[in-house]
Amino acid sequence: MNDVEVVVIGAGQAGLSSAYHLRRSGYVPGEDFVVLDHAPRPGGAWQFRWPTLTYDRVHGMYALPGMELTGADPDRPASEVIGEYFAAYERAFELRVRRPVDVREVRDAGEDAGRDGRLLVRTSEGDWSPRAVINATGTWDRPFWPRFPGQERFRGRQLHTANYPGPESDAFRGKRVVVVGGGTSAVQHLMEIAGVAAGTVWVTRRPPAFREGPFEQEDGRAAVALVEERVRDGLPPRSVVSVTGLPMTEQMRKARESGVLERLPMFSRITEDGVEWADGARAEADTIVWATGFRPVIDHLSPLRLREPGGGIRLEGTRSVRDPRVHLVGYGPSASTIGANRAGRAAVRDVRALLRAEAGAGTEAGTGAGTEAGTGVGARTQAGARAAVPA
Ligand SMILES: Cc1cc2nc3c(=O)[nH]c(=O)nc-3n(C[C@H](O)[C@H](O)[C@H](O)COP(=O)(O)OP(=O)(O)OC[C@H]3O[C@@H](n4cnc5c(N)ncnc54)[C@H](O)[C@@H]3O)c2cc1C
């Protein structure tokens, strides 16, 4: 059993931002806090994204706090560019991420002697007992597959964005492909697949909301506020992107003109060789691509019973209302790179207050922790650190 002050679960944007702010507050990585991640390499979910998602096609990616991402080749896969950037970041701030470590469950440590008020984090590599947990497990590991009548009888292939192989796959070349979903991933898949497929059909539940013109800060704030409201009400969050609409690019404009982005409403069932609408219309298909999004990875928190009857976890800021020792970052309104950055900072501020209240002011981690202005390690690495990201 390892006693620490804080366990951060996940080393994507949200987990690394949290780790950065913990360290900056004086907490020592590996001693006062640990970051656990079950992925094989640095990069969070980015490491798994398809090779044709090049860095220039990623829009609105914010750098992690304290270190810019400079000099990256826009034509390289985002998985490589961001993987290398995260690796450089972990090294620069000596965050000592432990991987691969799979967190299986988080529960109250119970009545064990000396464990009062602590949590128990059970992992593939042993147990940890922190006073607080910052959960930053993202959504990538929980792709959402809708269910339709007849789906199991479909003789072709079904793929999800989570295992989209890129357009060169034999799932697409010369094939009839149905793409389901109204988000950016669906549009990107369609534009790629249309170039190699025998034909594509796009179906979405609601008419897609293409957004022309600049995206002002106010629009962003309004979109985040919508998701925030759901989380405050204990409802499952929607993705931030689902409320911001689809930003129109030059490539999308061309795809629209050529008919690739003609959208049909949802079909009502799947047949052995295609899809069928309620009015009897049919489209034959060899492959169905489900670009239907992801759900928060939170099953390991279920022993804590944080969920509301509405199915979501109610948060005050990033703090769980049901258990103030648990923070969720990169969840709901903070599920974007900028949101994850801010949530990491907010969670650490709150965790510090909790630990200070418990331990008595000034003695929280026994390391001079609690001086956010940055004495010691944080201050040394904070000023102007830059990633040497290979081009
Ligand atoms: C296809 C796609 C494109 C996107 N493009 C953009 C964009 O252009 N701009 C933007 O701002 N946002 C974008 N987003 C959203 C953005 O990726 C996320 O909001 C943000 O990067 C997520 O960071 P995160 O740290 O919350 O999650 P992740 O990056 O998913 O990190 C979570 C980490 O937790 C680990 N983990 C999960 N469960 C466990 C467990 N039980 N035990 C141990 N470790 C665990 C995972 O291994 C992973 O490393 C995109 C999302 C998708 C799906």
Q: State if residue 63 touches ligand 1 by the CB under 6 angstroms criterion.
A: no
Contacts of 192 (CB under 8 A, 6+ apart): 52, 166, 167
pLDDT in tens, 145-165: 999 999 999 999 999 999 999
Mean pLDDT of the chain: 89
pLDDT at 240: 67
SS3 4: coil
Closest CA to 220 of 253, 247, 252, 193: 247
Closest CA to 209 of 232, 171, 243, 186: 243
Q: Determine the residue of 102, 141, 342 to mutate for testing ligand 1's pocket, defined as the one with the most ligand atoms within 8 A of the Cβ atom.
A: 141
Closest residue by Cα to atom 1, ligand 1, is 185
DSSP strand pairing (269-271 vs 274-276) = antiparallel
DSSP-assigned states of every residue in 71-109: S--TTSBHHHHHHHHHHHHHHHTT---B-S--EEEEEE-
For position 215, what pLDDT does the model report? Answer: 67
Pick from 16, 18, 38 the residue to mutate for probing ligand 1's pocket: most ligand atoms within 8 Å of its CB: 38
**What percent of the chain has pLDDT above 90?**
72
Give yes or no for residue 328 CB within 6 A of ligand 1: no
Please say whether the beta carbons of 16 and 67 come within 8 A: no
Is 340's C-beta closer than 6 angstroms to any atom of ligand 1?
yes
- Beta carbon of 244 within 6 Å of any ligand 1 atom: no
Q: What is the largest CA-CA distance in the chain?
A: 71
Residue nearest to atom 35 of ligand 1 (CA): 10
Question: For residues 153 and 271, is the Cβ–Cβ distance under 8 A?
Answer: yes
Q: Which of 305, 318, 351, 368 is nearest to 131 (CA)?
A: 351
Domains assigned to the chain = 2-141+295-387 (3.50.50.60), 151-209+245-290 (3.50.50.60)
Residue 320: partners with Cβ closer than 8 Å, 6 or more residues away: 304, 306, 313, 314, 326, 327, 328
According to the model, what pLDDT value does residue 373 have? 40
Verify whether ligand 1 is closer than 6 Å to residue 10 (CB atom). yes
CA of 141 to the centre of ligand 1 (A): 9
User: Is the pTM here over 0.75, yes or no?
Assistant: yes
Whether residue 147 has its Cβ less than 6 Å from ligand 1: no
DSSP string, 157-209: EEEEGGG---TTSTTTTT-EEEEE-SSHHHHHHHHHHTTTSSEEEEEESS---
Q: Beginning with the edge strand found earlier in the chain, give each strand of the sheet holding 319-320 in spatial order.
A: 33-36, 6-9, 132-135, 326-328, 319-320, 315-316
Helix-, strand-, coil-residue percentages of the chain, each rounded to 5? 30, 20, 50
Buried b / exposed e along 58-93 (16+ C-beta atoms within 10 A): beebebbbbbebeebeeebbbbbbbbbbbbbbbebb
Q: In this structure, what token pair is assigned to residue 268?
A: 């009502």
Ligand 1 atom at shortest distance from the alpha carbon of 102: 42
Do the Cβ atoms of 119 and 129 come closer than 8 Å? yes
**Cα–Cα distance, 180 to 186 (Å, whole number):** 7
Compute the distance between CA of residue 193 and CA of residue 30 in angstroms, rounded to an integer: 45
Question: What gap in Å lies between CA 347 and CA 330, rounded to an integer?
Answer: 11
For the chain, residues with pLDDT lower than 70 are 111-115, 214-216, 240-241, 361-391
- d(C-alpha 105, C-alpha 380), whole Å: 35
Residue 57 near residue 184, CB atoms below 8 Å:
no
Q: Do the bridges between strand 246-247 and strand 210-211 make them parallel or antiparallel, or are there none, so unpaired?
A: parallel
Report whether residue 315 contacts ligand 1, using a CB cutoff of 6 Å: no
Amino acid at 105: E
